[in-house]
Structure 1
């Protein structure tokens, strides 16, 4: 038995320290602290404050909706608003048709192919080659004017080229 004396001392010391810690924890748990107030001791406002730290707290007479009730109320409001909008549109006079206006900015040092690409993207022309031939026919490959060019309504290829070569 003397051979395992150090192990026996360790086990004995561990049991004693464990018993002391257990006793200390049980004494601490029974002592009243500031955070462990009984519910009966708290007034309603203090109880509400403590509960608000961990939960959503609502007044007793406040209406709390479930998700289905909320969805139904939102759908009802949306329907009312669409009905109002439809009624307002029915009473509006028809709008005057506006002219389709397109404004294009030609930057310095743009060649004819870049301008043709710009015109195709804006929807003024559909054929790049036809634009290039019309531009060459009018001698405008080097005469493209830098700046803003305004096109109103439907324009044909000749009007587009004339607008791009003439100064605004």
Structure 2
């Protein structure tokens, strides 16, 4: 009937072998899970614990915020707190810039290792020791103290002129 008898025999044998393999796969039981418990046997708590090893598991009623929503909520809260603080705080009298009028106060600053002159100047301005960054950096350059700033705690008491501040930072205590 067919001239190519080997081809037809090969196709027939392939179909038979394929059917046998399919039956073997259907008969074989499914492999057990790594933890030894199937998903049908797990209670919700164990299932959540197993899933939390690989995924972020959250409850249904937990609200997830985007970064924009979170930023807006934080800004609103900051504004509310600032308004509340401003309404409860009595009006202050403007401070005098006269050095003699400044009361004696003690300010302690810690200079970290590897801080350059601009970072130290910023630290001093934020703490209220000096008011002019440029004048401080200029005085420090004049005294050659850019590399001589001592690491550690420095104490500043009352009003100090720029030379005293630079001397305090250059000398070890």
Q: Same fold (TM over 0.5)?
A: no
Hey, which of these two has a bigger chunk of helix by percent? 1
Q: TM-score range by the shorter chain?
A: 0.3 to 0.5
**Taking structure 1 as the reference length, what is the TM-score of the superposition?**
0.41
CA radius of gyration, larger in: 1
Q: TM (normalized to structure 2)?
A: 0.40
